[in-house]
A and B are shown apart, each in its own frame.
Chain A
Amino acid sequence: MMKPDMSALETHFGAPAGEDCGLLFDVDDSSMPAMEFPNCPNFDRFQAKTKDMVKNKRGTTTLAFIFDRGVIVAADSRASMGGYISSQTVRKIIEINPYMLGTMAGGAADCQFWHRNLGTKCRLHELANKRRISVTGASKLLANILYSYRGMGLSIGTMIAGWDEKGPGLYYVDSEGARLKGNRFSVGSGSLYAYGILDEGYRFKMSIEEAGELARRAIYHATFRDGASGGCVSVYHVGPDGWTKLSGDDVGELHFQYYPVQKTPVEQEMVDASPSTA
């Protein structure tokens, strides 16, 4: 008789650092080795101090919404380490598989690692069950893992967006253990600004271009006002055949597209005059 597969219920609590400090993991062991913990009297204080010391990369404005043609997912591309911009080209929309996307907000390493891990689990599910995993299932897998690490300082605010047999799906999952099903979410330090544009322009019935443009404007406005957001706006669309990238624009250039510089009469005269004096 087959034993039911309980691997999804396994928790991955850390183990205190032993003599080998967890360096020699068994390469044949396909399950994850337990994460090592420092052997110190006050775990939370240690985490708070190392957080200040290493100043991990953090990512910042993402949004996603469902409309009648599927799901739109958009994000900026800036990562900051404290006040320093460590990168303007971060991929915050993570391709879990050809029909599911995840977004990154919060700690960059946390999001990258756990999304990669989720992609692995989704693929294993496909191989074990001969069918694709649903968005509900994928988000639950991630939420359960994050719940088991609740209180340890992970910082993840992610949205899982995809198209499965039930149609478009969108879930918000975070490191506090929350998992919410919804139609419209924006996550990150710039999310309040993005919500302003998104909520105002949202209608359920939109064409794909309109929806993409709404998402792009919402992220642009967030990058305009939030110092921790910037770089490029990437907009993806998830439809019944999977996701496609709709647009990728530098927000510096987008600014002048949305707000072209109006030349004053004097400047306009100078511009008009110059070709004849060349």
Chain B
Amino acid sequence: MSRRGDWVYENNGGTCVAIAGADYCVIAADTRLSVGYSILTRDHSKICELADKCVLASSGFQGDIKALHKNLAARELLYQHQHNKRMSCPAMAQLLSNTLYYKRFFPYYAFNVLGGLDSEGKGCVFTYDAVGSYERTGYSAQGTGSTLIMPVLDNQLKSPSPLLLPARDAVTPLSETEAIDLVKDVFASATERDIYTGDKLEIVVVNKAGTRREYIDLRKD
């Protein structure tokens, strides 16, 4: 029996991945919700569409994640009413960072990946830690399977660092179909070795035509 305020977190597991391309962004997450060694449900979405070109995937403690997604969706609605347009992905990225940091002393136990298109229509992915430090990258994985997935993404997608001077051209990015195939492969591998990842994979693809969703089955064991 835990006393109030003693320890209020639990890790519900799961993995989120996002890959940015020249004019698209793929955001994917598994749909398993676990507590300890038990699976509570095989059908829980970790992805939230915050704006038409902005999608957030989070893994960690689902209570905090629900609260965080609701908070951000409400702020986005307020922004729409005040500015007569939807929030851009970089703007939402900073809002998420600030929202996480305001709970620096009582953190949201959420590991987030924000993906979408920036104002020029290029794919962007923002990766976060639990208290709001963020960085724009070309790809990212967060959650219990992230340490299994990131090395594979580094191998396939790593491009010269944006910090280099003179700047070096980024390697030609993958096409949209290649990126989706990579995501499916990478989740299949993570499912093999991470007990918290599996059941179903939800893939959201954002491009200038709009947003679409796909579901792929993963191993249920």
With A108-B129, A248-B165: A38-B100 Cβ-Cβ less than 8 Å: no
Considering the complex, give the chain A residue whose CB is closest to the CB of B9: A53
List 20 A-B pairs, Cβ < 8 Å.
A23-B71, A35-B103, A35-B105, A36-B105, A37-B105, A37-B106, A38-B8, A38-B105, A53-B109, A54-B109, A77-B163, A86-B129, A89-B135, A89-B161, A109-B104, A109-B132, A231-B163, A232-B161, A234-B165, A248-B161
Name A's B-contacting residues (CB within 8 A).
Answer: 14, 17, 21-23, 27, 33, 35-41, 46-47, 49-50, 53-57, 77, 79, 81, 84, 86-91, 107-113, 152-154, 231-232, 234, 245-250
With A27-B78, A54-B130, A89-B137: A112-B161 Cβ-Cβ less than 8 Å: no
Residue B5, interface by CB 8 Å: yes
Considering the complex, give the chain A residue whose CB is closest to the CB of B6: A40
- Of residues B4, B104, B129, which shows the largest number of chain A Cβ atoms within 10 Å of its Cβ? B104
With A35-B102, A57-B133, A109-B133: A27-B82 Cβ-Cβ less than 8 Å: yes
- Which of B133, B137, B161, B165 is close to A108, meaning CB atoms less than 8 Å apart? B133
Residues of B contacting A: mostly? loop
Q: How far is the CA of A247 from the CA of B167 in the complex (A)?
A: 10
Q: How far is the CA of A54 from the CA of B130 in the complex (A)?
A: 6
* Contact status A247-B165, CB under 8 Å: yes
Q: How far is the CA of A31 from the CA of B148 in the complex (A)?
A: 42
Q: Which residues from A are CB-within-8-Å of B112?
A: none
Q: How far is the CA of A256 from the CA of B135 in the complex (A)?
A: 29
- Which of B7, B9, B100, B135 is close to A91, meaning CB atoms less than 8 Å apart? B135
Name B's A-contacting residues (CB within 8 A).
Answer: 3-9, 67, 71, 78, 82, 97-98, 100-107, 109, 127, 129-135, 137, 147, 160-165
Q: Which residues from B are CB-within-8-Å of A90?
A: 135
Q: Which residues from B are CB-within-8-Å of A39?
A: 4-5
Q: How far is the CA of A111 from the CA of B97 in the complex (A)?
A: 12
Q: Which residues from A are CB-within-8-Å of B131?
A: 54, 56, 107, 109-110
Q: Which residues from A are CB-within-8-Å of B129?
A: 54-57, 81, 86, 108-109
Known contacts A56-B129, A89-B163; 11 further A-B pairs (Cβ under 8 A): A14-B105, A23-B67, A39-B5, A40-B4, A41-B3, A50-B106, A113-B97, A113-B98, A245-B165, A247-B165, A248-B161
- Which of A54, A77, A231, A245 is close to B107, meaning CB atoms less than 8 Å apart? A54
How close is A132's CB to chain B, nearest CB, in angstroms? 24
Q: How far is the CA of A90 from the CA of B135 in the complex (A)?
A: 7
* Contact status B132-A112, CB under 8 Å: yes
Considering the complex, give the chain B residue whose CB is closest to the CB of A235: B165
- Which of A54, A84, A91 is close to B163, meaning CB atoms less than 8 Å apart? A91
- Which of A41, A55, A109, A248 is close to B100, meaning CB atoms less than 8 Å apart? A109
Q: How far is the CA of A248 from the CA of B166 in the complex (A)?
A: 7
Q: How far is the CA of A81 from the CA of B160 in the complex (A)?
A: 22
- Which of A40, A79, A89 is close to B162, meaning CB atoms less than 8 Å apart? A89
